[in-house]
A and B are shown apart, each in its own frame.
Chain A
Amino acid sequence: GQNIDQPTEMTATEGAIVQINCTYQTSGFNGLFWYQQHAGEAPTFLSYNVLDGLEEKGRFSSFLSRSKGYSYLLLKELQMKDSASYLCAVRDYSGGYQKVTFGIGTKLQVIP
């Protein structure tokens, strides 16, 4: 099975930088995803990591360390619209087929 941990809530100030951490345990790791979910809406894809290192995409970056079972999502130049839940998800192969499991999500509140 899988175990994915991330903080439940975070608060940050508009214009600042925030880092959301995710730790995981899995037997057949095949990629880690970050999603953004605004209240009442479906999750939308933000980033993907399968190799160690940093992936940058505009204001958002995601880092992965497979040996440590650790990832983080970095949001720069925070805007009010970044207030949302951020979901860490791990894909692994279970019996030869891929399965994706989500963490509980981190609710980020951006304040003026």
Chain B
Amino acid sequence: DAGITQSPRHKVTETGTPVTLRCHQTENHRYMYWYRQDPGHGLRLIHYSYGVKDTDKGEVSDGYSVSRSKTEDFLLTLESATSSQTSVYFCAISDSAAREPRQPQHFGDGTRLSIL
């Protein structure tokens, strides 16, 4: 299995509080992604990173920020959590398609976040 660890696995917090989710990889892959998954919407891309300090927005980036200061870590921050951000969050990693075109994304086990 690909070495991806998400922490925490579960979190309950209150509206207005800051929340940071961590994704840690041991595969030295270039690309890292944050998705949220909600019933009726599937997996939606929040932000992704194509290298250290290199990130870009996905389709649902409002209310979220990310940072990647090391190859192995990709952090997702909710500056002021809202109830609409209650979701399951998945981190994924992949190598460069130029180097390994057939290699898929590998997913972490997910973080279940509830905002009350």
**Which A residues contact B (CB, under 8 angstroms)?**
1, 30-31, 33, 35, 41-45, 48, 50, 87, 89, 91, 94-95, 97-105
Q: Which of B12-20, B65-73, B75-83, B96-104 contacts A (4 or more CB under 8 A)?
A: B96-104
Which chain A residues lie closer than 8 Å to B40 at the CB level?
Answer: 104
A–B complex contacts, Cβ < 8 Å, 20 sampled: A1-B59, A30-B97, A30-B101, A35-B104, A42-B90, A42-B107, A42-B109, A43-B90, A44-B107, A45-B104, A48-B104, A98-B96, A98-B97, A99-B45, A99-B56, A100-B105, A101-B45, A101-B59, A102-B44, A105-B42
Which chain A residues lie closer than 8 Å to B110 at the CB level?
Answer: 42
Give complex CA distance A30, B31 in Å.
Answer: 15
The answer to whether A87 touches B43, judged by C-beta atoms less than 8 angstroms apart, is yes
User: Is the contact region of chain A dominated by helix, strand, or loop, or is it mixed?
Assistant: strand
List the 6 closest pairs (A to B, CB-CB), nearest first.
Answer: A104-B42, A45-B104, A42-B107, A102-B43, A97-B50, A105-B42
Which chain B residues lie closer than 8 Å to A43 at the CB level?
Answer: 43, 90, 107
Name the residue of chain B whose CB is nearest to the CB of A30. B97
B58 is contacted by which of A33, A41, A50, A99 (Cβ under 8 Å)?
A99
CB within 8 Å for A97 and B101 given contacts A87-B42, A102-B35, A104-B40: no
